[in-house]
Amino acid sequence: MTTTVANIVVCPRCGKKNRVPAAGPGSPKCGNCGAPLPWVTDAGDDDFTEIADRADIPVLVDLWAPWCGPCRMVSPALERIAADFAGRVKLVKVNVDEAGRVAQRFEAQSIPTLLVLDRGRVVSRQVGAAAEARLREWLEQGLREAGRTAGAA
Ligand SMILES: [Zn+2]
């Protein structure tokens, strides 16, 4: 069982507060109105498999560190994007200083490194900061890629 804590997320449609677990089947929906909820969570070496690899929807991984200036610009943009893509993507933030195994697995030599994962497989990678509009395009493309491989399976 997961030991990670649930986040409280305010439904963007009706305003109801929902408890959203860090991991679980499908993707979170508002208990009141059924709207898809933004799914944003942190992960580290011990829970990355459960939170990211086992997710039923594509995962946007943000490999970042507190000392990284460009990361501090990219992270808020990613959270806005994750809200707009609610139900279609899960944003998982990994502090590489505390998650050496995850950083090594994805060969994150420079950060921010952004990945789109489809059931643990990297379908798209973006190294370095980029404007929010560019990140949206990149994510759309990654989701199409993930959809294509899912359809072919
Ligand atoms: Zn709602």
Place of tokens 């929807």: 57
Bridge partners for 126 per DSSP: 114
Q: Which two tokens stand for residue 82?
A: 């994750």
Is 14 considered catalytic here? no
Distance 80 CA to ligand 1 centre (A): 18
The pLDDT-based confidence of 148 (bands split at 50, 70, 90) is: confident
- For the cut 60, the answer to whether the pLDDT of residue 1 exceeds it is no
Q: Indicate the angle between helix axes 132-152 and 69-84, nearest 10 degrees.
A: 60
Residue range 40-152, CATH number:
3.40.30.10
Name the catalytic one among 11, 30, 33, 68.
Answer: 68
How many C-beta atoms lie closer than 10 Å to residue 48's C-beta? 22
Distance 39 CA to ligand 1 centre (A): 14
The reported pLDDT for the residue numbered 6 is 78
- For the cut 50, the answer to whether the pLDDT of residue 2 exceeds it is no
Virtual CA dihedral for 82, 94, 4, 123, nearest 10 degrees? 60
pLDDT digits (tens, 9 = 90+) for 21-49: 999 999 999 999 999 999 999 999 999 99
Q: Which of 94, 79, 69, 1 has its CA nearest to residue 39?
A: 79
Is 71 considered catalytic here? yes
Place of tokens 């991991």: 23
